Chains A and B, each alone.
Chain A
């Protein structure tokens, strides 16, 4: 099967006055049709930067340094902005931004704000646009009257549904979801996750699901991609990461141990000492080595490559039989 999206050795750095922040530093993965990949990691690990980079809109002062983003075997990085707007952004790949539901402007109706997306990316007429919006509101479980409402009249869950509908208008194949449920209550979160699963089946979508919450990732992602300090440290199937066998990378194991479980042994809730490294001058060797309790000599000198440790399971750690 051909991949929908292939990222090859992508580097995207933020060029600040203090130096280049290596937010994405050599990331490669493929997204298959109908698949959900979960990007997970602590804040500052590059999850959101990767999301916006895929959409060809790195936040200034971010710039691509090297690598390719292949959509249908075409590298989107060198494409002119006009073409990206016409063919890629929102048409092929759309995104639900982190906190998007709180970025709706309070002075316009939901309908007016949703229409903006349509007008910007297509030449649809006003009546058709309203029809289309009503149709999509139906898919996300909202009444057409919502179009006339202002953001303050809606609950968080309803706003998030409207934002999701907006991301689906132009029939993208890939939707990047950046922390779509973080600001929501658990019950609403579970409702939104159910909705996303239904929409995915209905429209044959592929998702890139970004969150810091490994427990949530278990609910929705087919493959889990764990990032640390701008790099992928582990990429494996859901069943493998959350299965009985420990993950291949110590960082994943530690993150999993720090995830509170309602029914686990609560007394064993762990934490990872230290903080994420400064990405202007990341540590030598493995970037996790200063916080890793299993690090040995080589970890501090040589950076481990991301290699296949089992069929379909990648990890970047010297412990995996290559020490």
Chain B
């Protein structure tokens, strides 16, 4: 069994919707809870990049916040490095956050514009009361900047955030997390606001840092293409649940859950011959509200393969199907058989992306 750094078990986060005064007078009996994260379990292994993929409203960011202890879970358990961290007091949270650090989405908003880069990097040392002389702190700052390849470090330390590009800021944000020697980083869409031309550069830097320091990452994104490039394993979330988990290549090459299949079909590929084609998406409509989750399999309202049982039977649990590949679909096997050509020709949407592969 691989060495697990973070184990999440049956984690739930329900929010109570806001009620106005009149509603609360009328008696809040019919309160509908918003089930943002609805019973998820996963393990992140030491030295692994674990990707959490989903649309907006899937609960991926809430999961990230739970892992960061920015939110208290409604129920469930989190074990970090063998220690139960589900509920921590103020001191415990602070100690935990020293080991688990976060990189935010917006590199323009995540830094105080009145801090020089030196101050940005020194702040975590002050907050966490890291002991050391001025010279020792200086050394730590230089080391962190060198780790993210912002060299010569002296030159960058005196700059203001506005003098840096988005990519450089994201490097500083990474350096700020590394200065505390964390064991795990939570990165919520770290490259979505960075220009396409430099996205690969930042991801490569993050991966280098991860390999050098043996870190674990929780990488949260809606972007399957960077996830394939960046992560070891992927969990696909839909409406607060994990519907499929497996190794990144398996998830993308042989997706078993219809939702994952739809996500993959929807990704545009830079290939010619698609202008005249109306893409047939194997999914209906839009994501329902997490306050009103459908019965049975929560995906059945949008699923082109759904049968009566999908709505009626209890929600399918994650089941193993292949090497480390789990899915939560009642009909996964039948769908695979249907696609193999049991029922006529392959549907157009399966044929189309083959051009992109060439």
> Using a CB–CB distance below 8 Å, which chain A residues touch chain B?
36, 42-43, 155-158, 185-191, 193-194, 197-198, 212-222, 238-239, 241-243, 254-256, 258-264, 266-267, 269-273, 275
Contacts and interface: CB of A to CB of B under 8 A. Distances in A.
Contact of A218 (B204, B268, B287): B268
B16 interface: no
Contacts of B222: 185-186
29 contacts: A36-B275, A42-B196, A185-B56, A186-B222, A186-B224, A186-B263, A194-B279, A213-B268, A215-B225, A215-B268, A215-B270, A217-B270, A220-B275, A222-B275, A238-B272, A242-B271, A260-B199, A260-B229, A261-B356, A262-B225, A262-B264, A263-B269, A263-B357, A266-B228, A269-B200, A271-B197, A271-B199, A271-B200, A275-B165
A31 to B, nearest CB: 15
Contacts of A189: 266, 268
A164 to B, nearest CB: 16
Interface size class of B (residues with CB under 8 A): 35 or more
Interface in B110-163: none
Nearest to A157: B286
A190 B279 contact: yes
Contact of A243 (B55, B203, B262, B272): B272
A253 B275 CA distance: 20
A198 B283 CA distance: 18
A194 B352 CA distance: 15
Nearest to B167: A275
B254 to A, nearest CB: 12
Given A187-B263, A190-B268, 8 more contacts: A155-B287, A156-B56, A194-B279, A215-B267, A255-B196, A261-B356, A262-B267, A271-B204
A258 B55 contact: no
Nearest to B278: A194
Interface in B203-254: 203-204, 222-226, 228-229, 252
A213 to B, nearest CB: 7
Residue among B265, B275, B279 with the most chain A CB within 10 A? B275
Given A185-B222, A263-B353, A271-B201, A242 B272 contact: yes
B274 interface: yes
